[in-house]
Structure 1
Amino acid sequence: MIRTLATLLISTAVAAAHAVSIGQPAPDFALTDVNGKAVKLSDFKGKHVVLEWTNPGCPFVQKHYNSNNMQSLQKDATAKGVVWLSVNSTNKSATDYLEPTKLNAKMNGEWKGASSYLLMDETGKAGMAYEAKTTPHMYVIDPNGKLVYAGGIDDKRSANPADVKTAKNFVRAALDETLAGKPITVATSTPYGCSIKYP
């Protein structure tokens, strides 16, 4: 517990040096997907992008995938031309770390995930740049490369799949508004879930 707290404090301190703010440019990153393809955020300038921090070992992630909530949101978004990047920042020494082939089998195989790319961030560099704290932790970026939403997926801070039905989905609302060229009503919210296991 002490080690976990110390790791969280160190991670938070490092992340603070790379603070991200709504309306400011989203930090670029270059990662490799589970199939070995190099992916850069800047490759998608001119498109709306969703970043989803994930870890299938987390009960809160399981809530949104076992209920098909996350996959439904991914499919709806990508059908509208949105690029969806799922990012796993779990370090290799963590007990719930999955190597790319196993992560792919879980997220895209068993769960039938529909993200554009499933990315590995084992060093935690991308996660820390965004101050990503939990799985899930969600971000929406506009076609100009600016951050327009950061926070939780919804307002039901539980691991109970039944809560999905009555939750206000902040990501869906932010996407609907930004795709329509409207300002985001709720641009930030407190993320909830499992702490990201950074190195």
Structure 2
Amino acid sequence: MRQRRLLLLVLGLATLPVFALTPGAQAPDFKGTDSNGVNHNLSQYRGKYVVLEWANQGCPYDQKHYLSGNMAALQRQWTEKGVVWLSVISSAPGEQGNVSPSEENQYLKKMKAAPTAALLDPEGTIGRLYQAKTTPHIFVIDPQGTLIYQGAIDDKPTTDQADIKPAHNYLNAALISAMAGKAVPTASTRPYGCSVKYKE
């Protein structure tokens, strides 16, 4: 009987949503170097909205948004409105998605991607600080440095590009609402994609 209760407890916990940082909390500051050798920290962007997007070139969920042009379109849409968009690559050396600075720049050019910068985080320092779980995993930070959204990019957890158009985009909803002075309708969702390939 005791074993059965324990099993039910374990199964119950396994079905609970696993969220990263709690929206409403202050977003942790960090330091990182981008694919052009430029240093960035979150505090330098105080006064602006910031999007953190965890990326992995080899992940089919990430490829869904890059190969379709969706990620590039989102990056352009929001950076043109003054949003700082930082792609973060936390794949460890030897793991899927780990790239050199030149490889990342070539990929961004090929995909016509337009983030403000792509931060290389092979030690997983920034990823672990934010408890980033998947690629993609999205975090939105407001001008006061408060986390206002974390989770999936949209509500279609598939690798099918055809699912992008009918999807509800949580990232867009968060930024549109916040910029209009309204509450973010959904502040946390379960991120989907490949697990971030952290250094063991």
Query: TM-score, normalised on structure 1?
Result: 0.89
3-state DSSP of counterpart to 2:65:
helix
3-state DSSP of counterpart to 1:21:
coil
The answer for unaligned runs of 5 or more in structure 1 is 1-15
Pair 1:152 & 2:172 matched? no
Shift of 1:95: 4.3
Pair 1:48 & 2:49 matched? yes
Pair 1:99 & 2:96 matched? no
- Work out the CA distance in 1 between the residues paired with 2:174 and 2:89: 22
State the identity as a percent.
49
Question: After superposition, what is the alpha-carbon deviation per residue over 1:66-100, rounded to whole angstroms, capped at 9, x for unaligned?
Answer: 11111111111111110000000001121442111
Deviating beyond 6 angstroms after TM superposition, the runs of 4 or more aligned structure 1 residues are none
Question: After superposition, what is the alpha-carbon deviation per residue over 1:146-174, rounded to whole angstroms, capped at 9, x for unaligned?
Answer: 00000000000000011001100000010
- 1:1-199 matches, within 5 Å, as 20-106=21-107, 108-199=108-199
Letter in 1 for 2:46: K
Letter in 1 for 2:48: K
Q: Which residue of 2 aligns with 1:7?
A: none
- Work out the CA distance in 2 between the residues paired with 1:62 and 1:140: 21
The answer for unaligned runs of 5 or more in structure 2 is 1-17
Task: Check conservation: 1:20, 1:129, Cα contact below 8 A.
Answer: no
Letter in 2 for 1:83: V
Larger radius of gyration: 2
3-state DSSP of counterpart to 1:186:
coil
Question: After superposition, what is the alpha-carbon deviation per residue over 1:42-78, rounded to whole angstroms, capped at 9, x for unaligned?
Answer: 1100100000000111101100011111111111111
Letter in 2 for 1:53: W
Cα distance change, pair 93–76 in 1 and its aligned pair in 2 (3 A): same
